[in-house]
């Protein structure tokens, strides 16, 4: 009988909606739109998992470093301080592609980014970072997958992700802490076909829909592979760098 370990996110309302938390060695996909603040949930889950004994690995496809820092600081999370304190590392794909170097010891760049060699180079850097993490659990966050699509195109991104899934399955034989991963994606920047392909490989999916009232969004927990899960909807309220999750009301 398969017994799966469940990792709480530390956000009680969200864990309840997921059916208990996140499966170990799984991925959480956070889907949102152009004007959504749903991405703040992903940052908060990442922060709590890292602070509960994990080691953060940020793969940055979308932002120059100063803007990545500003986005994190919006929700009261100083990502660069956390890096300097030895709690996380950044794989800066955006800076690598655009020739923007960031002189911090926790920021890693990839030389000669192209679709044919990207994954091998990224995995090599990832393994270097794992050696720094020691016994801490790797907590990965990809910011953002639509940024990856911008770099490589949808078809090539699918091929890269499919190969990465195969590598991840083989890595399960290694005796080390298994990772938790968080993917952020702006659905307005990719095709429905890409999201459909991605969704079949993801264990947990939450989607945000903005409403006519600023700061109020529909939070739809579409998928969780936990036996106690029931698809559900909640109200997501964002204000001043904080959010609240409340039981669904009429929209």
Summarize pLDDT for 151-184 with one digit per residue, the tens: 999 999 999 999 999 988 888 887 788 999 999 9
pTM of the full structure: 0.95
- Quote the pLDDT of residue 186: 98
Could you state, in order of their start, the residue ranges of all structural domains in the chain? Answer: 45-202, 203-245
Query: Which of the four pLDDT bands, split at 50, 70 and 90, describes residue 4?
Result: confident
Query: Which of the four pLDDT bands, split at 50, 70 and 90, describes residue 44?
Result: very high
Contacts with 155 (C-beta within 8 Å, 6 or more apart), sequence order = none
User: Would you say residue 1 has pLDDT above 50?
Assistant: no
User: Would you say residue 249 has pLDDT above 80?
Assistant: no
| pLDDT over 90, % of the chain | 90
- CB atoms < 10 A from the CB of 99, how many? 7
Q: How far apart are CA 8 and CA 198, in angstroms?
A: 23
- Which residues pair with residue 244 across a beta bridge? 237
Summarize pLDDT for 222-242 with one digit per residue, the tens: 999 999 999 999 999 999 999
User: Would you say residue 106 has pLDDT above 80?
Assistant: yes
Summarize pLDDT for 92-102 with one digit per residue, the tens: 999 999 999 88
DSSP result, the chain: -----EE--S-HHHHHHHTSSEETT-EEEEEE-TT--THHHHHHHHHHHHHTTEEEEEEESS--HHHHHHHHHHTT--HHHHHHTTSEEEEEHHHHHHT-----TTEE--SS--TTTHHHHHHHHHHHHHHHHTTSEEEEEEE-HHHHHHHH-HHHHHHHHHHHHHHHHHHTTSSSPPPEEEEEEEGGGS-HHHHHHHHTT-SEEEEEEE-SSTTEEEEEEEEE-STT---EEEEEEEETTEEEEEE----
The CATH architecture assigned to 45-202 reads 3-Layer(aba) Sandwich (3.40)
Contact between 199 and 205 under an 8 Å Cβ cutoff? The reply is yes
Summarize pLDDT for 181-197 with one digit per residue, the tens: 999 999 999 999 999 99
């Amino acid at each position: 009988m398969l017994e799966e370990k469940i990792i709480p996110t530390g956000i009680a309302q969200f864990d309840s909606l997921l059916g208990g938390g996140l499966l170990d060695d799984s991925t959480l996909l956070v889907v949102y739109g152009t004007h959504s603040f749903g991405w703040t949930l992903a940052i908060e889950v990442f922060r709590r998992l890292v602070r509960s004994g994990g080691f953060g690995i940020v793969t940055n496809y979308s932002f120059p470093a100063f803007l990545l820092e500003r986005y994190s600081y919006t929700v009261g999370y100083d990502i660069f301080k956390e890096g300097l304190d030895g709690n996380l590392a950044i794989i800066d794909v955006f800076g690598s592609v655009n020739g923007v170097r960031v002189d911090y010891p926790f920021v890693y760049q990839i030389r000669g980014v192209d679709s044919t060699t990207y994954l091998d180079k990224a995995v090599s850097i990832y393994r270097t970072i794992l050696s720094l993490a020691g016994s801490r659990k790797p907590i990965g966050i990809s910011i953002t997958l639509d940024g990856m699509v911008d770099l490589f195109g949808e078809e090539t991104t699918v091929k890269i992700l499919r190969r990465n899934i195969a590598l991840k399955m083989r890595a399960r034989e290694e005796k080390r802490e298994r990772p938790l991963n968080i993917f952020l994606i702006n659905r307005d920047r990719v095709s429905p076909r890409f999201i459909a392909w991605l969704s079949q490989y993801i264990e947990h999916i939450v989607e945000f829909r903005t409403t006519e009232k600023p700061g109020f969004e529909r939070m739809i927990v579409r998928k969780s592979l936990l036996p106690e899960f029931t698809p559900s909807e909640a109200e997501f309220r964002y204000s001043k760098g904080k959010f609240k999750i409340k039981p669904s009301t009429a929209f």
